[in-house]
């Protein structure tokens, strides 16, 4: 406020000088001038305050890019290529991969443009978008994935923290700067057959991995900058739904992402997997899947931090989203080595298993730091979940267990119902430090908290009420 005192004083001094030169002014004129001055001063205060700088958890400024969220206008993206103008027909049973790919290739050969899926249902295998090409789905349009894995070629790709040969996604874009998917249509992974086959295999081979059941992802975008996905419905993925790898400046705006938990569970259908990316905004999305809603990836294994294919996720903001059922609203891991400056805010959570899940993988060196979860309402089974994650544990040739860390984690301004408030275990494999709980209103079946498992654990205005005990207790700590 001290900043404005000399400004206001200057305006007032100018007003007084002006008043001396117009001694014949009427009282009404004087009042008008006074009102103009007050209006100007108030406007100045409002404008300056509205441009107050927001910061990431580590104190670095959040760029204006995160606030500039205009949906792409396909009129600015070049020529339009409606697939039905190129012998593609509306038929949900006829595989038309080659014809649709030919439209993409033609657009690319002519300098780029927008491939338009019109109203109707079009069955396809893997499609590969090229530089300066884009995808637009009209309202009522459905791009439907084949349930035959042979329609998805094996390529050099990235999956589950590894760079290897695996099946392409339904929609692929590699090294396509400026790539966009937009419209009001649907990309439907048609995953039911894959899900049934996975659970059948798991029954016969209980230790089978996610990749043992051969299945494609829905959307995979890699090595690309300035990407925007907006407006579309992404549903029923056979495997991960939206996977972005080694991308910078990615916006996911107003998406509807869904896969079922019943009657057949859709296994490992994460809504959004962010893998070695910088500057990612997820805004105004609906997320409900039978796995993690948003998972931060980056690599796995005892030497993961030495592999150039792996890396950090930095400057990630998830805001103004609505969550249905999911395993976790925000997960670090399990295939993750470093996440920094992560914000989850202004979201509503319903029927999640966890709000924040830090998967501490015993065979991988990990560092999850400067994480902020704020302005959240809703419910989940666990509010904070931190435990050793040992599924598929493999130290390979490493003799020691790598140490992992999580620090500077803040959860504040949250009104939440849960089964377990503090589902956190101590471990010799990781160190937790500099956590802060602030302005929390928690109702839990188990509201206990063992603060000793975190070094430098600050509480400020925390209410945790256990409502299953005959004696409900309320705790407030201000340390």
Predicted local confidence at residue 113, as pLDDT: 98
Predicted local confidence at residue 467, as pLDDT: 76
Predicted local confidence at residue 36, as pLDDT: 59
- Lookup: tokens for 146: 């084949």
Nearest to 252 by CA among 360, 144, 179: 179
CB-CB contact of 236 with 188 (8 Å): yes
Residues of the chain with pLDDT under 50: 1-8, 11-12, 14-16, 18-24, 26-27, 44-51, 470-479
Q: pLDDT for 430-471, tens place per residue? A: 999 999 999 999 999 999 999 999 999 999 999 999 876 533
- Please state, in angstroms and rounded to a whole number, the distance separating the CA atoms of residues 337 and 359: 11
Predicted local confidence at residue 289, as pLDDT: 98
Predicted local confidence at residue 91, as pLDDT: 98
**Which residue, chain included where needed, has tokens 């959040």?**
62
CB-CB contact of 181 with 135 (8 Å): yes
Residues 6 or more apart whose CB falls under 8 angstroms from that of 403 comprise 365, 429, 430, 431
Pairing mode, if any, of strands 91-95 and 141-145?
unpaired
Nearest to 390 by CA among 435, 310, 333: 333
**Which residue, chain included where needed, has tokens 């002519």?**
110
Q: Which residues pair with 385 in a beta bridge?
A: 357, 423
CB-CB contact of 252 with 243 (8 Å): no
- Please state, in angstroms and rounded to a whole number, the distance separating the CA atoms of residues 213 and 216: 10
Q: Which residues pair with 435 in a beta bridge?
A: 409, 457
CB-CB contact of 380 with 352 (8 Å): yes
- Lookup: tokens for 363: 């065979």
Q: How far is CA 439 from the centre of its chain?
A: 24
What is the 3 state secondary structure string of 195-218?
A: HHHHHHHHHHCCCCCCCCCCCCCC
**Which residue, chain included where needed, has tokens 């012998």?**
87
Angle at 85 between CA 81 and CA 87, to 5 degrees: 120
Q: pLDDT for 105-143, tens place per residue? A: 999 999 999 999 999 999 999 999 999 999 999 999 999
Other beta carbons within 10 angstroms of residue 279's beta carbon come to 20
What are φ and ψ of residue 394, in 5° steps? -155, 105
Predicted local confidence at residue 16, as pLDDT: 47
Nearest to 213 by CA among 195, 189, 231, 192: 195
Q: What angle in degrees, to the nearest 10, is found between the helix axes of 5-20 and 27-50?
A: 160
């Amino acid at each position: 406020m001290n900043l404005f005192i000399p400004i206001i004083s200057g305006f007032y001094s100018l007003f007084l000088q002006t008043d001396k030169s117009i001694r014949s002014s009427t009282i009404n004129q004087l009042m008008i001038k006074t009102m103009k001055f007050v209006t100007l001063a108030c406007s100045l205060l409002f404008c300056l305050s509205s441009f107050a700088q927001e910061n990431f958890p580590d104190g670095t400024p959040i760029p204006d890019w995160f606030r500039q969220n205009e949906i792409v206008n396909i009129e600015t993206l070049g020529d339009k290529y409606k697939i039905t103008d190129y012998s593609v027909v509306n038929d949900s049973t006829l595989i038309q991969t080659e014809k649709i790919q030919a439209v993409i290739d033609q657009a690319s050969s002519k300098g780029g443009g927008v491939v338009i899926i019109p109203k109707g249902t079009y069955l396809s295998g893997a499609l590969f978008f090229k530089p300066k090409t884009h995808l637009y789905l009209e309202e009522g349009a459905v791009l439907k994935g084949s349930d035959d894995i042979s329609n998805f070629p094996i390529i050099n790709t990235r999956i589950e923290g590894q760079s290897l040969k695996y099946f392409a996604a339904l929609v692929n874009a590699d090294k396509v700067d400026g790539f966009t998917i937009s419209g009001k249509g649907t990309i439907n992974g048609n995953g039911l057959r894959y899900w049934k086959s996975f659970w059948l295999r798991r029954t016969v081979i209980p230790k089978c991995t996610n990749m043992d059941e051969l299945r494609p992802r829905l959307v995979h975008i890699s090595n690309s900058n300035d990407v925007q996905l907006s407006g579309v419905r992404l549903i029923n993925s056979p495997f991960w739904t939206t996977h972005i790898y080694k991308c910078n400046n990615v916006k996911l705006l107003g998406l509807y992402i869904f896969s079922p938990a019943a009657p057949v569970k859709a296994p490992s259908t994460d809504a959004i997997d962010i893998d070695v990316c910088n500057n990612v905004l997820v805004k105004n999305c609906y997320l409900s899947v039978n796995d993690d809603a948003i998972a931060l990836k980056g690599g796995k294994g005892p030497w993961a931090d030495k592999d150039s294919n792996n890396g950090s996720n930095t400057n990630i903001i998830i805001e103004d989203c609505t969550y249905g059922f999911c395993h976790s609203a925000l997960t670090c891991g399990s295939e993750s080595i470093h996440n920094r400056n992560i914000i989850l805010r202004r979201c509503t959570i319903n029927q999640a298993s966890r709000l924040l899940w830090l998967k501490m993988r015993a065979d991988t060196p990990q560092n999850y730091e400067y994480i902020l979860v704020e302005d959240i309402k809703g419910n989940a089974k666990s509010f904070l979940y931190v435990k050793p994650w040992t599924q598929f544990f493999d130290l390979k040739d490493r003799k020691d267990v790598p140490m992992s860390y999580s620090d500077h984690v803040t959860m504040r301004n949250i009104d939440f119902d849960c089964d377990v408030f503090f589902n956190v275990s101590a471990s010799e494999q990781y160190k937790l430090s500099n956590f802060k709980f602030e302005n929390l209103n928690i109702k839990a079946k188990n509201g206990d908290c063992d603060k000793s498992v975190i070094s430098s654990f600050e509480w400020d205005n925390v209410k945790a009420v256990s409502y299953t005990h005959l004696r409900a207790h309320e705790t407030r700590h201000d340390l």
